[in-house]
Amino acid sequence: MTQKNRIESGGQIDRSQTHSFTFDGKSYQGHPGDTLASALLANGVRLMGRSFKYHRPRGPLTAGSEEPNALVELRDGARQEPNTRATTTELFDGLVAKSQNRLGSLKFDLLSINDRLSNFLTAGFYYKTFMWPAAFWEKLYEPVIRHAAGLGSLSLKDDPDVYDKGFLHCDLLIIGAGPAGLAAALTAGRAGCDVILADEDFRMGGRLNSETFSLGDASGADWAKAVVAELESLPNVRVMARTTVIGAFDHGIYGAVERVSDHMHTPDTGKPRQILWRIYTKRTVLAAGATERPIAFENNDRPGIMLASALRSYANRFSVTADNCVAIFTNNDDGHRTAADLHAKGIKIAAVVDVRSDAPRNYDYEVLEGQVVDTKGRLGLTFAEVKLANGTMRTLECGALGLSGGWNPNVHLTCHQRGRPIWNEALSAFVPGDHLPAGMTVAGAASGEMSTAGALQSGVQAAQDALDLNDEAPALPQAEDAPVNLKPFWYVEGCSRAWLDQQNDVTVKDVKLSHQEGFRSVEHLKRYTTLGMATDQGKTSNMGGLAIMAELAGKTIPEVGTTIFRPPYTPTAIGVFGGRHRGQDFHPKRLTPSHRWAEEQGAVFVEVGNWMRAQWFPRAGETTWRESVDREVLATRGSVGVCDVTTLGKVDVQGTDAAEFLNKIYCNGFAKLDVGKTRYGLMLREDGIAKDDGTAARLAEDHFVVTTTTANALPVYRHMEFVRQCLFPDMDVQLISTTEAWAQYAVAGPNSRKVLEKIVDQDISNEAFPFMACANITVCGGLRARLFRISFSGELAYEIAVPTAYGDALIRKIMEAGAEYDITPYGTEALGVMRIEKGHAAGNELNGTTTAQNLGMGRMVSKKKDSIGSILSEREGLNRDDDLRQVGIKPVDAGASVPAGAHLMSLTGPIDATHDQGYVTSACYSPCLGHAIALGFLKDGSQRLGERMRLVSPLTKVETEVEIVSPHFIDPEGGRLRA
């Protein structure tokens, strides 16, 4: 069987080439220019899918992106793409498609049993049953429902294609390249404006490609082709086919998706599958056209029944007829146009059934006044039953039936910013309202201008208005200017199983039931019946439902109103919104200056925010991370270790008010800090809770270097700028984040001075450079550097910084200088162990809910000065006697662990939330002490040192007896720091 329904000649397909494709494993042929739907129809295939609920057999209803029925799984393997509209899928050689949502084959779908049970499966039936016994919902009812529901399936393999994102800017964005859009583009393009013309179709021209009438001397399609060619020749016009504008966002930003490779078997090498464009435009002309709407009657959903305009598109553009005998059911003149076009191509017109008594007559075929009241044909239409105006019945034998109930302007994008459309009586349709997105003008059928001449003219006008052009308008060709003659007609009286939402199987009966049960707001109707919630978002279904609601409620359609139009205009691949932000590229990676060196050492890295930091440096023979970490800790405390601490935030603070500024941002005082000295600073939020901690080093009277934690580098800098610009705008102080500008290493351990003395050009003896000293120095004979004698580990330690470009050289230099002391690089794990041993708070303790008091630093909050957070830190709830205090915790049994996240309970008594007294924040094994240690918060903890408690973690099934101790496990007097 080869393309038996292909019309002999005409159309915009390339008959010189043939594409082979398969549908449900069977091979077919079509031509370039076909869609999957047109090619299947050409091959005599009307049945393309099954409906959602009743699994009714379905063929295409439309020839466009509003298609609710002909959804297939396109491609196979990892590229399988569910719910793909056959009506917009461009045919390519080797295309593979499968039907979906069926149990068994498409022709014998076992779930079509649901159709027999439809009387039980009415709107909302599931809200009224499946409640007993309660446990059966998850175990029985829901799994059955879930497996029957859904449409197509994902392959569940990683999407192999690439997606890109980009920005475009223009003076005028024109959405839709039909007559109105093309006329607008010509007007603005010739005037030299920057124009983007986007159309969802692969062929520009909109309806002009689907009609037979001419524009001037040319056919509509040829006129469109010539205009597109001219536009493409203009350097200021970007013509974007296969590009759907999906949404109108704030301030003239539009989202658009260009399908770069969807018309090919696989994307070309280096090309993305799709691109998400954010188009920034000054003005917009929406020329998105209109969508024809069907009429509801009994069994109006059989394959072969489609929109009359779709039949016309298939015949004129794709040179295909759904069947060689076609009937039309219409309430307006447009339906007759389809009959005339098809007749002219030699297709038999069984009859045109028109609900109007004054329908246009035609002597080539029969025009009947009446209504189609029912149809027959199990897997495709065979007969239409017509009730004539005089009451007699007539049976039409036909394989296709075109429905024309009038046209709905595509107002969607006019409503994306909560505008509402208004009712147009002449069209019996909603047209754009007054509250359009800023900068938008609507032209052509989208504005209700239904004739071709009117569309052309409104396109020109819209472009001129939008851009305030006074240039001469392009000469427009003569074009069809027929009026809209329409008698509103939505559904056949007395019908019940008459489909409104074909995909979701919402029938007239369901809408009536919804009304009967009180779901009378249009939103309640939608939600109760699922009308308009299908993948076409109501494009083919909503108006019928509204009309019935209006009639039942005794209201007009505009009184009933519409539901809300939301982006995207058509469903859009999730992948394109993700772009290249997936896998390792999900977030950028920040590498420290010593990264390459650390890689050479075989370091294991860990993600710290976007940073990659060395976690530990395993050595040959070490089999567990603990072995490496223990070694690094012991080596550092025993001799010397080095760690890259570049990731800590650094902010340079300069100006005559620098000290006063630090007094504001830290709760403790800085005004009296001597030049050449560093001080620990605790920063509060304005609500009195600890925000961050770090050090501030005074390098000069008017120059400090502030450090922050790695995680808070950005928020702290932002906060400091807020304080500077918004609260104290006249302070003479400047801030700059220098986190990336300086490579910084901690060199710690009793031999650290000896190592650095070999590198640093100055005297750094204990006398010359005591604990908490800081200075601008030079290293290696002249390289500028900064040196701070600060310690996170509790050892004699320094942090040394050089410009980042020298970071790699410096770490190598330090290693070389330290070789004689067996200098040991250590990672974040050893860093963490040493700070817990020393009792220093870090992120786990500064968790955004703890106060200075909780941290044991209550006395640091100066009451003598104004600092951020000091007033609100005095609130009673933050100063209770039994407040949490930071404590140290060690197991009574030295072999036991004290896991972080465990809670503290008394030795006896119940274990529950009301008896909860605290929790463990940080824990580790201390190689120095030979047992596990932890930091935590305990109610009134500072008064409870020596107390035995139970540490419980029911989640990880741990219960251990512990002793509450000072958080300073190592060198509590700080002798080592000052050595």
Q: Could you say which residues in the range 604-623 bind other proteins, by CB under 8 A?
A: 606-608
Please report whether residue 909 would count as binding other proteins according to CB under 8 A: no
Angle at 294 between CA 292 and CA 298, to 5 degrees: 175
Judged by CB under 8 A, which of 530, 594, 744, 960 binds other proteins? 530
Asked if 952 and 899 touch (Cβ cutoff 8 Å), the reply is no
Please report whether residue 564 would count as binding other proteins according to CB under 8 A: yes
Asked if 285 and 291 touch (Cβ cutoff 8 Å), the reply is no
d(C-alpha 363, C-alpha 233), whole Å: 46
Q: 361: closest CA among 340, 385, 391, 384?
A: 340
Q: Which is nearer to other proteins, 389 or 736 (CB)?
A: 736
Please report whether residue 901 would count as binding other proteins according to CB under 8 A: yes
Please report whether residue 931 would count as binding other proteins according to CB under 8 A: no
Asked if 91 and 36 touch (Cβ cutoff 8 Å), the reply is yes
Q: Which is nearer to other proteins, 35 or 663 (CB)?
A: 663
CA atoms within 13 A on the CB side of 643: 31
Judged by CB under 8 A, which of 270, 554, 583, 782 binds other proteins? 583
H or E, element range at 513: helix 508-516
Q: 428: closest CA among 403, 458, 444, 448?
A: 448
Judged by CB under 8 A, which of 866, 882, 893, 959 binds other proteins? 866
Q: Which is nearer to other proteins, 6 or 840 (CB)?
A: 840
| Count of positions on this chain that bind other proteins (CB under 8 A) | 142
Please report whether residue 122 would count as binding other proteins according to CB under 8 A: yes
Contacts of 851 (CB under 8 A, 6+ apart): 688, 689, 690, 858, 873, 878, 883
Please report whether residue 159 would count as binding other proteins according to CB under 8 A: yes
Q: Which is nearer to other proteins, 161 or 211 (CB)?
A: 161
Q: Which is nearer to other proteins, 180 or 629 (CB)?
A: 629
Q: Which is nearer to other proteins, 187 or 853 (CB)?
A: 853
Q: Which residue shows structure tokens 């620990």? A: 680
One character per residue 475-514, x = contact with other proteins (rule: CB under 8 A): ----------------------------------x---x-
What would the DSSP string read from start to end of 883-910?
-EEEEEEEESSTT----TT-EEE-SSS-
Asked if 941 and 920 touch (Cβ cutoff 8 Å), the reply is no
DSSP H stretches of helix in 325-447: 333-344
What tokens does 124 get?
């909302």
One character per residue 228-267, x = contact with other proteins (rule: CB under 8 A): -------------------x-xxxxx-x------------
What tokens does 639 get?
């001799």
Judged by CB under 8 A, which of 523, 674, 816, 893 binds other proteins? 523
Please report whether residue 105 would count as binding other proteins according to CB under 8 A: no
Torsion of CA 959, 965, 969, 972, to 10 degrees: 170
- Smallest distance, other proteins to C-beta of residue 345, A: 35
d(C-alpha 577, C-alpha 579), whole Å: 6
Asked if 515 and 549 touch (Cβ cutoff 8 Å), the reply is yes
Contacts of 732 (CB under 8 A, 6+ apart): 655, 656, 657
- Smallest distance, other proteins to C-beta of residue 427, A: 26
Judged by CB under 8 A, which of 27, 726, 908, 930 binds other proteins? 726
- Smallest distance, other proteins to C-beta of residue 766, A: 36
Please report whether residue 2 would count as binding other proteins according to CB under 8 A: no
Please report whether residue 721 would count as binding other proteins according to CB under 8 A: yes
d(C-alpha 42, C-alpha 57), whole Å: 19
Please report whether residue 125 would count as binding other proteins according to CB under 8 A: yes
Contacts of 53 (CB under 8 A, 6+ apart): 114, 121, 504, 505
- Smallest distance, other proteins to C-beta of residue 248, A: 10
- Smallest distance, other proteins to C-beta of residue 735, A: 8
Q: Could you say which residues in the range 62-101 bind other proteins, by CB under 8 A?
A: 79-83
Q: Which residues are paired to 891 by β-bridges?
A: 962
Contacts of 9 (CB under 8 A, 6+ apart): 319
Q: Which is nearer to other proteins, 127 or 213 (CB)?
A: 127
Q: Which is nearer to other proteins, 272 or 618 (CB)?
A: 272
Please report whether residue 571 would count as binding other proteins according to CB under 8 A: yes
Q: Could you say which residues in the range 399-418 bind other proteins, by CB under 8 A?
A: 416-418
Binding range to other proteins, per CB under 8 A, among 539-547, 668-676, 910-918, 960-968: 910-918
What tokens does 302 get?
């059989």
Please report whether residue 928 would count as binding other proteins according to CB under 8 A: no
Binding range to other proteins, per CB under 8 A, among 119-127, 596-604, 749-757, 812-820: 119-127
- Smallest distance, other proteins to C-beta of residue 589, A: 8
- Smallest distance, other proteins to C-beta of residue 902, A: 7
Judged by CB under 8 A, which of 43, 371, 464, 535 binds other proteins? 535
- Smallest distance, other proteins to C-beta of residue 734, A: 11
What tokens does 871 get?
């007033």
Please report whether residue 913 would count as binding other proteins according to CB under 8 A: yes
Q: Which is nearer to other proteins, 374 or 692 (CB)?
A: 692
d(C-alpha 58, C-alpha 216), whole Å: 40
How remote is the C-alpha of 592 from its chain's centroid?
A: 30
Please report whether residue 454 would count as binding other proteins according to CB under 8 A: no
Q: Could you say which residues in the range 264-303 bind other proteins, by CB under 8 A?
A: 276, 278, 280
d(C-alpha 503, C-alpha 64), whole Å: 15
Q: Which is nearer to other proteins, 463 or 952 (CB)?
A: 952
What letter does residue 703 receive in the DSSP assignment? E
Judged by CB under 8 A, which of 102, 238, 312, 903 binds other proteins? 903
What tokens does 53 get?
């609920």
- Give the chain's length: 979
Judged by CB under 8 A, which of 582, 596, 619, 812 binds other proteins? 582
Judged by CB under 8 A, which of 900, 925, 940, 947 binds other proteins? 900
**3-state SS, residue 355:** coil
- Smallest distance, other proteins to C-beta of residue 532, A: 11
What tokens does 203 get?
């062929």
- Smallest distance, other proteins to C-beta of residue 834, A: 16
Please report whether residue 434 would count as binding other proteins according to CB under 8 A: no
Distances, alpha carbon 304 to alpha carbons 320, 342, 765, 774, in Å = 13, 15, 94, 85
Binding range to other proteins, per CB under 8 A, among 184-192, 621-629, 777-785, 873-881: 873-881
**3-state SS, residue 471:** coil
Q: 40: closest CA among 314, 225, 360?
A: 314
Judged by CB under 8 A, which of 391, 782, 877, 946 binds other proteins? 877
Q: Could you say which residues in the range 630-689 bind other proteins, by CB under 8 A?
A: 657, 660, 685-689
d(C-alpha 170, C-alpha 238), whole Å: 9
Please report whether residue 590 would count as binding other proteins according to CB under 8 A: no
Q: Is 301 exposed, middle or buried (0-12, 13-18, 19+ CB in 10 A)?
A: buried
Q: Could you say which residues in the range 827-846 bind other proteins, by CB under 8 A?
A: 843-844
Q: Which is nearer to other proteins, 234 or 872 (CB)?
A: 872
What tokens does 429 get?
């349709």
- Smallest distance, other proteins to C-beta of residue 480, A: 36
Please report whether residue 137 would count as binding other proteins according to CB under 8 A: yes
Judged by CB under 8 A, which of 507, 953, 962, 967 binds other proteins? 953
Binding range to other proteins, per CB under 8 A, among 2-10, 396-404, 765-773, 947-955: 947-955
